[in-house]
Structure 1
Amino acid sequence: RQTGKTTTIAMKAIYFADTNPNVTVLITSPSLRQSMIMFDRIATFVYSTPRLRNKIVRATRTLIHFENSSRIIALPCSENLLRGYTAQMVICDEASFMPEEIITQVIFPMLSTTDGYAIFLSTPWGKDHFFYRAFVNPAYSVHKVKSSECPLIKPEFLEEMKANMTKEDFLIEYEAEFVEALNSYFPQDLIRKCVELAQKLGVELYGSLEATFPAGDYYAGVDFGKLQDYSVITVLKRECDILKLVYLYQFPLETPYTNVIGHLVRAHQKFKFRKALVDQTGVGEPVLEEIRNQGLSNVEGLKFTVQIKEELLSNLKIVMEQNRLAIPYHRQLCQQINEQQYAYSKSGHLQFSHPTNSHDDMLWALALSCMAAKEPPKKEPAFTFS
């Protein structure tokens, strides 16, 4: 983190487009929002340099077109949007979360006739993916930079981060290591498949109720927290057998329950939930009754016993393994899912926990909404013979 890879690649893209006429530089990532981080850095450099700024003949939010007919374009990792381009350079940011088939069947072919460059940047995430195989392939030019190698990052800061993060998270984020806890209930590769499904289906994740949402079957999950934990609301949209995560909102610490209830009511007015499940542990029946009094008659509460937790996360994992859950790229959510650890009790039940100095509120809200969307088993038709 913060070692300058975005700045370095941004400068490389600008230099390449400026010194080579008629070239196309594409920037893509798991989401347009992520692509725009790189593109905004490029735009800042271009507009702050008079010589480059004067060469612009056309510019939009996602495009810079220079007078030498070279272009820099930002796109999300969508097959429909990427296909059709011929490029001389493609920059893939957070490549570990991009579908392999997009890389091998869309990006590489667009470089085949131009002898172009493919640049992959990413936080390490899972080994069953093209990015890891390229990382260990001597045919690729590989650059691994630890945060400790950056002179702008003080050793004291890294020591503080090490004390406040899990060992695995620190190695991933600051040491650029491909690691994963052995007792992680949700493997990194499984999580990535959910992210890839969202990219294939074009699922957008929103964190504001100001967005417009089409009519459909929506289900909500609410995990209540207050002092040390966050309150989180997640919303899934069910389309046939696919569950799409379309809304996620995390409240600031110490947010009163009345504010969370008010937000849930507004969300219900927007989504018209078919069902909502809330964590009733510690908040009791009064909070549930207040939610119902506000018009959410189809809300149910669950107290997080060992058995209920096992049912919630087992159901979530099954849906993920069946490739039925689409999760748009959200670094914090992916991290929380992967950090959930498990062990077996003497009675044979699964017991779950998250590492010290980490949170799992988003995970439980997602598990609740996923359980809310679970269809009851269909009854076999009854036949009467006379």
Structure 2
Amino acid sequence: MASTNNTVLYDYQKRWLQDTSRFKVAMFARQTGKTFTTTLEIVLDCLEAEARGEKVRWVILSRGERQAKEAMNEGVKVHLNAMGIACEIMEVPFKEDTTINALEVIFPNGSKITALPANPDTARGFSANVFLDEFAFHQDSREIWKALFPVISAGWKLRVVSTPNGKGNKFYELMTDLDNTEWSRHQVDIYQAVADGLPRNIEQLRKGLNDEDAWAQEFELKWLDEASSWLSYDLIDGVEHPQAGKPENYTGNPCFVGMDIAVRGDLTVIWVLELVGDVYWTREIITLKRTKLRHQLDELNRVMRQYNVVACNLDQTGMGEKMVEDAQYQHGEQRVQGVLFNVVTKLNMATLGKNAFEDKQIRIPQGDSDLRADLHKLKKITGSTGQPRFVAESDSAGHADRTWACFLALLAAKDAVLLPVKAHSRRPRTSQKLTQGY
């Protein structure tokens, strides 16, 4: 029966179709035919079983009802019609006590293809070969996985395809756990697909999309963490050090301070950097939650006394205006500067901060999960006008407050290179001399 298949496939689709591994997983760029190709494999498998007088069962688990219908109507039905086989898709209840409906195609000898939305209940409802379509976007992917694997344990096959959607799901583990050699892995970005014959104008697509983050994720197959998070976990990992974040390790060198001031439930964060050679070592990170402004100022005063602070930048936006005024009165306008947060200043600070992480010019505490999450929380998005903005989800651990405090401290260090400074009661010195001897 397979010889009746005249579907034209590109080379990357042929490689996926011809791979007969029991477990295989693929990460394909958007609109490159991953569902189309996998449903063709399913149809051919059913027809081959029918030709042998046998029957086979396949279940397609999609991210939602619409996607399940697309897999049947634009995949299974199209393939059967192309082979001259009449196809009727039936809608049947998944279970009597649920509102979930399944779509089914039943072959003359009893082979069956079923498509329905994925959740832990639907995953455990069958004993069959399984196709997980766009698995990275399934809600509760780990729970679905735990429910699913016993279903296919008796020799059934498993097909998993998706575009990437961050590192927090089971699909990411399947694609990146290379020590697990039971899985056959395929990866096709837009460049490979076009090289294999897919007729697409890459530059036209990229310009038309006008969103570099979406392009990176959906066409270049970069994990969402790398595509939209301003500081990837790889960058964060690269600057962690067990001796950072310990005030007792302070060696008396010039320091630079950034202070992000809380608005209601967010954190006030004071970040202290010590310049050692050409590296900025984090000496202390102070987090204050729901703390009165006068107590926040007391903590800043303590930092200014304890360290040789050459320059300090405070968030001057909103309620920070009074804090800047008071801090400048006590420590001088040369040492304390206010920074108004807006699109331009945030972009400048974020760029400066990312460069420091990329160039490994900063050291941060190792293994601090709240700090890691905070640094990774900041995302760059592009608005309808093309103007980049930085956003961060707010939760009990903050609103990227630590990140902005860090960037403010780095900005203070950068600006100090250009301006004469006065530290404590020492005689005036210019910041050009700060790195002498390192």
Structure with bigger gyration radius: 2
Give TM-score, length-normalised by structure 1.
0.48
Give TM-score, length-normalised by structure 2.
0.43
